[in-house]
Chains A and B, each alone.
Chain A
Amino acid sequence: MAVVGLAGRERAQLLLAGAFVLAVALIGLTIVLTSSSYTTTLANQENGVVRGSDAVTVRKSLDHELTRQFEFVFRNYSAGNRRTPFETVVAQTGNETTTHYARRGRLVNVTMDASGAGFIEGARIKQSEDLNLDSPSNVPNWVVAEDVEVRNATLIIGDISDAIPTSSPSTATRMFFETPGAGGDWSLAFMEQSKDIDGDGSLETVWNISSISPSGKLRSCVREEVNSNYEAKLDLDAGTLNGDRCGALLALSPEGNRYDVRIVRGARTTAARYWLIVDKQPGSLGTLFAGPFTDAEPVLYGARVRYRYHSATVTYETNVDIAPQELS
């Protein structure tokens, strides 16, 4: 009986030890499985607000909305009366945005400098009649505007001189976008050339618009001859020629960079209209051109608003420039 009792105790101890080891193993397994479950939880916690992309989405949404409002004000109010309506719109939008996001625990706001310093005054330079591209006082090499950012640069070419050779960039009308104080100049050349387009041996007159990059790379678009029956509309922002994409123009990017805009041998383009909006007021466009600058009027080029977004995880404050793309 004593032997059996001893064996029973030892077996019990062994079983206890085994049970203990098994329990530890099961606890370890539970921890691993819980950890695996936590991975799923961690992955599901991700959303745009936590990651911060919500701040970018709201900023783009406000930018789009205020740009639309800016365009409305630009089109429906005269040059001197655009500030107050736009400031009112910004204030309303800011209040509504703040209220909307406050309910969700976020501080989102858009405001404008009360002093009016947020407005960017610019000028619209325009030639609305079919004239040559020399300056208003017929200077053949003139600077349209100095050190400006250009938006909505559009030219409508109605005729190229047949009397003067314009078959190469060195003899044709050139429009330069020169980087102030440095190299890196882009230029456009408006040429007429004779080409055998059909391959039948007969030469036809075609219109060639070329852009020349700072490194000298030449890109061209060829269209039918411009004359009284066919005019060509060049949209430098969109990079299109009469609505079609033109490789020579697509390479240009007048907006977002500062340039001196110069026109050389403008008389060889005998009929043209143009308009461009620049971020400087008429009085400070430049001094290199000769003669009075009669076709520049003040416009509201853009506005700078302050955007703030604060949440539990995101801190974001920046200025957003409201600058519509296609105002003429």
Chain B
Amino acid sequence: MIDDRAASTAISYVLIISLALVLTTGLILGTESLIQNEREDSVRQQLEVVGQQLAGTVMTVDQFNGTEAPPEAAAVTRQFPGRVAGSQYRVGVIADDPDSGRYTLYLDAVDPDVNVTVPVQQVDAGLRPTRVNGGPLRVEYVDASQEVVIRDA
């Protein structure tokens, strides 16, 4: 009987260990997947917010040029976050149709690989195609080239 009990204890021990391992592994994998999905959503949402706010600022600076005399100083500095949900990102400008003032801002995060685009409609000035790191940005009007330029602040 003593041998039987000893064998039963060992089997129970192995079973418990195995079950605990399976449960823990499942929990880790499930949680990791959940966190990854949530993180991607967070990154996308934050990029969309940053993109919309940057587009609004770009179009506002375009309105700075709405006077007969060109502005001597026209710039807005925005304190955008350097990381979105822990991920670095970059901001770029694509000229879709400069003649009709249509441009696209694109923001892409490094990890996870998430991209967001925001359309911009310019009225008075062009928007210089550029690519800068996310973070504090300075949007200014350059009269020499009659363009709105996005720079690192």
Residue numbers in B under 8 Å from A18 (CB-CB): 20, 24, 27
The number of chain B residues touching the other chain, given as a range, is 35 or more
Q: A-side binding surface: helix, strand, loop or mixed? A: helix
Say yes or no: is B72 at the interface (Cβ < 8 Å to chain A): yes
Question: Interface 1/0s, chain A 37-53, versus B by CB < 8 A?
Answer: 01100110010001111
Q: Flag if B45 contacts A56 (CB, 8 Å).
A: no
Question: Interface 1/0s, chain A 1-22, versus B by CB < 8 A?
Answer: 0010001001100110110011
Measured in the bound complex, the distance between the Cα atoms of B17 and A50 in whole Å is 58
Number of contacting residues on A, CB 8 A?
A: 40
Measured in the bound complex, the distance between the Cα atoms of B86 and A55 in whole Å is 33
Known: A51-B60, A56-B66. A29 touches B71 (CB 8 A): no
Residue numbers in A under 8 Å from B50 (CB-CB): 42
Measured in the bound complex, the distance between the Cα atoms of B83 and A42 in whole Å is 12
Say yes or no: is B1 at the interface (Cβ < 8 Å to chain A): no
Which partner residue on chain B sits nearest A4 by CB separation?
Answer: B9
Q: Which of A7, A42, A314 contacts B49 (CB 8 A)?
A: A42
Question: Interface 1/0s, chain B 43-80, versus A by CB < 8 A?
Answer: 00110011001001100110110111111111111110
Say yes or no: is A35 at the interface (Cβ < 8 Å to chain B): yes
Q: Flag if A56 contacts B64 (CB, 8 Å).
A: yes
Measured in the bound complex, the distance between the Cα atoms of B21 and A17 in whole Å is 10
- Residue ranges of B at the interface with A (Cβ–Cβ < 8 Å): 6, 9, 13, 16-17, 20-21, 24, 27-28, 31-32, 34-35, 38-39, 41-42, 45-46, 49-50, 53, 56-57, 60-61, 63-64, 66-79, 81, 84-86
- Please list 11 pairs of residues, one from A and one from B, whose beta carbons are closer than 8 Å in the complex, sorted by A's number: A25-B32, A31-B85, A38-B46, A39-B46, A39-B49, A51-B76, A56-B66, A315-B76, A317-B72, A317-B73, A319-B69
What are the 4 A-B residue pairs with the smallest beta carbon separation, nearest first? A318-B71, A319-B69, A25-B31, A52-B76
